[in-house]
Amino acid sequence: MPRYAFRVEYLGAPFNGWQRQDGQPSVQQAIEEALARIEPVEPRIAAAGRTDTGVHATGQVAHADLQRDWAPERLMEAVNHHLKPLPVALTACAQVAEDFHARFSAMERRYTFRLVARRAPVVFDAGQVWQVRHGLDVATMRKGAAHLIGLHDFTTFRASLCQAKSPVKSLDEITIEALDYPAGQEIRFHLRARSFLHNQVRSIVGTLERVGAGAWEPIRVAEALEAKDRAACGPVCPPQGLCLTGVGYPNDPFGA
């Protein structure tokens, strides 16, 4: 059976996350049902990461074993046709070796969180950003974020229901980018690691927002990390600002 890798883009709002669940719409189910329209047997797909309800993606990667041999471009077009009108699309497709696995072959995941600081309601980016109505100090947030870089026990920034075997993770990068925004400012948090704990990114961003708002001193981020206690974390920010932007592999399956 030939194996195919897909790069997937989706808006998270209509879905109860990536993973297929009985009675709840999911991105996985949408793609599997689209594949079932063109394959003799509905396949199961595996993804690089299981995004939560409301979380978006521009660079999710998944793979599936299919019954038929397909030209990748034709396969992508056929699946996209059957995904309409859902806000999901395959943006790349490639036939890969049978030992390629979207999750286990991945070397890194990249996320971006978009936060808008302004008083007026967000219109054009509604549903894709987290809005706060107060100003934020980007320099102090960067100081706070610096304490999180490297190999740490991230128990404080881990959901209580997280199923990861260990809370120890290496966070390779947090870049905080400030952009001018109509009537305010957009702040983008770019995070990169081999893997993330459940709710880790949203917990980090929610904590750094408290630093930027002046409610926390930057050193308190280090103290929260050292506490290894979920109660020491700042508030977990909402999901709509979070986007999985890329997955890295030893050899890019799409040849870019």
- Name the catalytic one among 52, 69, 137, 180: 52
Q: Which 8-state DSSP code applies to residue 65?
A: E
Give the per-residue pLDDT at 182: 76
**Under 8 Å CB-to-CB from 23, ≥6 apart: which residues?**
none
Q: Under CATH, to which class is 108-246 assigned?
A: alpha beta
Strands 168-181 and 150-153: antiparallel
Give the per-residue pLDDT at 256: 61
For the question of residue 125 being annotated catalytic, the response is: no
Give the per-residue pLDDT at 222: 97
**Under 8 Å CB-to-CB from 84, ≥6 apart: which residues?**
none
227 sits in which H/E element:
helix 219-227
List, by residue range, all CATH 3.30.70.660 domains of the chain: 108-246
Give the per-residue pLDDT at 187: 97
Residue 115: CB atoms within 10 A of its CB come to 23
Distance CA 244, CA 256 (A): 18
Give the per-residue pLDDT at 180: 86
Give the per-residue pLDDT at 126: 92
Distance CA 151, CA 90 (A): 34
Q: Which 8-state DSSP code applies to residue 51?
A: P
Give the per-residue pLDDT at 117: 95
List, by residue range, all CATH 3.30.70.580 domains of the chain: 3-105
For domain 3-105, give the fold: Alpha-Beta Plaits (3.30.70)
Render each residue's pLDDT in the chain as its tens digit; 256 residues. Answer: 899 999 999 999 999 999 998 889 999 999 999 999 999 989 999 999 999 999 999 999 999 999 999 999 999 999 999 999 999 999 999 999 999 999 999 999 999 999 999 999 999 999 999 999 999 999 999 999 999 999 999 999 998 887 788 999 999 999 999 998 778 999 999 999 999 999 999 999 999 999 999 999 999 999 999 999 999 999 999 999 999 999 999 999 998 6
